Structure 1
Amino acid sequence: MKLNLFWATLQFMTRLPVPAKWAEGVDFSQYWRGVPNFPVIGLIIGGLAALISLSISQSGGGMYIGAIGYVLALALLTGGLHLDGLADTCDGLFSARRRETMLAIMRDSRLGTHGGLGLIFCLFLKVFAVAELSYHPPLELFVLLTCAPIVGRTAVVLLMYEQRYAREGEGMGSSYIGRMTPRSTALTLLGGAVLVIALGDWQGLIAMMGTLIVIYGLAFYFNYRLGGQTGDTLGASIEAGEVIFLLVMIWK
């Protein structure tokens, strides 16, 4: 069951080809049990994206094309799942409407002005942050770029543990939000920290801690504005976590 749960989590969080039989027997309502696998999912995604980025930059493409390759690889590997959440969250929050209206806007599949601006801002920040970090030796840069998705997917647990689902009824986020146990939450945070230390050093862990603090503050903000969390705010926090980690590493 545990191995099936890992494959089901990988299948849900990425567009990597996972044979259907490997994820058999896992009901979507039990997907929250796979959250401790999130740091490992981040390791896989980050490692692949970092490899693509360095292959481009080290073969003559330059740091900016390599940075674009990294951001594009992350988007393709995840199918834009978290970027969609970021856009919907921006559309809702920056509409400055009542809570119910904001949640309705977030559910609308159409991209609004605020969502578009949020995507542009996020993607540009990632590209320029990766380009700025490209002065590091290739191996160090590989580690940094691999760690960002690990940290983003570790931090999102803070929007699940003891949080309230903002919508009436059920949705994609309701399978995670408010269901995390103290043990699963601790395992997720510990797993992310161990991977960051194993790959990098204590500076990476400090950057991760700073990211966790900001994301925890973001959870409070979402609660204040929306009355809880949604699947969209989970996606937004993953994207924010990646960007914050990269920015902190610039100013380390």
Structure 2
Amino acid sequence: MRAFLAALSLLSCLPLGRFAPTEKELARAPFYFPLAGLLFAVLFWGITRGCLVFLPPFLAGAVLTLAPEALTKGFHLDGLADTADGFWSGRDRSRKLEIMHDSHIGTMGVLAIASLFLLKFAAVLSILSAAPLALLWAVPLMILNGRCAMAQHIFFSRYARKEGLGKLMFEHKTVSGFLLALALPFLCAACAGLRPGVLLLPLLLLGWSFAWSLITKRVLGGATGDTIGACEELAELLTLLFFVILIDFRA
């Protein structure tokens, strides 16, 4: 139970009182990332429903684009920005890792965040205009898939740094945690009822997590906390784009 709370504390700004996870609990937290994602998905089903009922399209699109970042206080966005700065620095591996560890955000980081918001907003509006009720599945699955992608990325990767908090998670990853991160997207996609196309989404998510792990290994020699955050943000975007294509194909 405390490891699950540790996962919630890492992935959200939900009030948990004076709870302070130990290193052992943080090491076990990735197992619970998918379950935390499922909890957040239920929360965002309600938020999406409220947006569809009470808000005009553009405002609903803005809320559904920004609300996930409010939940995490921009934690994963920071990882995306740092990853972009490191990847496109043109330096060697060790220097890239140093750049990613720097607390300042560079030009490529700003560009990555701006591009992500623009693409997410455009995708949400596209779904909203073509099939509004599909957002009731697209947004929750986006939230769930992002957290499951994090767990999958950890399973496929080794830690790129010699030391760091993230090292604990990579050293204590489990097959059962990976299977949970694999099963939940399939189960939720099956419940979506947009068959058969939507059942391809979990496979796409798995392929993305594996491909991202190969990319980070090639560029950095492994994964870091920043690449986990980037994996989550890009998995969310991938989910929305999948729904845009699926709806357009069905039309």
User: Do they superpose with TM above 0.5?
Assistant: yes
Taking the aligned partners of 1:138 and 1:37, their CA distance within structure 2 comes to: 31
Taking the aligned partners of 1:200 and 1:173, their CA distance within structure 2 comes to: 37
Tell me what 1:5 maps to.
3
Quote how far apart the aligned CAs of 1:139 are: 4.1
- Please say if 1:74 is aligned against 2:90: no
Tell me what 2:38 maps to.
43
CA separation of 1:46 and 1:109: change in aligned 2, threshold 3 A: same
Quote how far apart the aligned CAs of 1:89 are: 0.2
Query: Contact 1:6 / 1:37 at 8 angstroms: preserved in 2?
Result: yes
Matched AA of 1:125: L
Taking the aligned partners of 1:246 and 1:56, their CA distance within structure 2 comes to: 17
Matched AA of 1:18: L
Q: TM-score, normalised by structure 2?
A: 0.89
Q: TM-score, normalised by structure 1?
A: 0.88
Quote how far apart the aligned CAs of 1:238 are: 0.3
Tell me what 1:211 maps to.
205
Tell me what 1:55 maps to.
50
Query: Contact 1:47 / 1:142 at 8 angstroms: preserved in 2?
Result: no
- Please say if 1:197 is aligned against 2:190: yes
CA separation of 1:60 and 1:78: change in aligned 2, threshold 3 A: closer
- Please say if 1:174 is aligned against 2:196: no
Tell me what 2:249 maps to.
none
Quote the RMSD (CA, aligned, Å). 2.0
Q: What aligned pairs does 1:71-150 form with structure 2 within 5 A after superposition?
A: 71-135=65-129, 138-150=132-144
Quote how far apart the aligned CAs of 1:92 are: 0.4
Matched AA of 1:33: R
CA separation of 1:159 and 1:60: change in aligned 2, threshold 3 A: closer
SS for the counterpart of 2:170 is coil
Query: Contact 1:45 / 1:74 at 8 angstroms: preserved in 2?
Result: no
SS for the counterpart of 1:5 is helix
Quote how far apart the aligned CAs of 1:189 are: 1.5
Taking the aligned partners of 1:162 and 1:179, their CA distance within structure 2 comes to: 13
SS for the counterpart of 2:160 is coil
Taking the aligned partners of 2:187 and 2:109, their CA distance within structure 1 comes to: 34
SS for the counterpart of 2:90 is coil
Tell me what 1:16 maps to.
14
Quote how far apart the aligned CAs of 1:7 are: 1.8
Q: 1:204-245, CA deviations, whole angstroms, 9 ceiling, x for partnerless residues?
A: 331221122123111101100100000000000000100011
Query: Contact 1:57 / 1:65 at 8 angstroms: preserved in 2?
Result: no
- Please say if 1:31 is aligned against 2:26: yes
Task: Give the unaligned 5+ runs of structure 2.
Answer: 247-251
Taking the aligned partners of 1:39 and 1:73, their CA distance within structure 2 comes to: 19
SS for the counterpart of 2:186 is helix
Quote how far apart the aligned CAs of 1:152 are: 1.3
Percent identity over the alignment is 30
Query: Contact 1:162 / 1:180 at 8 angstroms: preserved in 2?
Result: no
* More displaced 10-residue stretch of structure 1: 122-131 or 138-147: 138-147
* More displaced 10-residue stretch of structure 1: 71-80 or 197-206: 197-206
Tell me what 2:147 maps to.
153
SS for the counterpart of 1:158 is helix
SS for the counterpart of 1:189 is helix
Query: Contact 1:155 / 1:238 at 8 angstroms: preserved in 2?
Result: yes
Query: Contact 1:54 / 1:66 at 8 angstroms: preserved in 2?
Result: no
Tell me what 2:180 maps to.
187
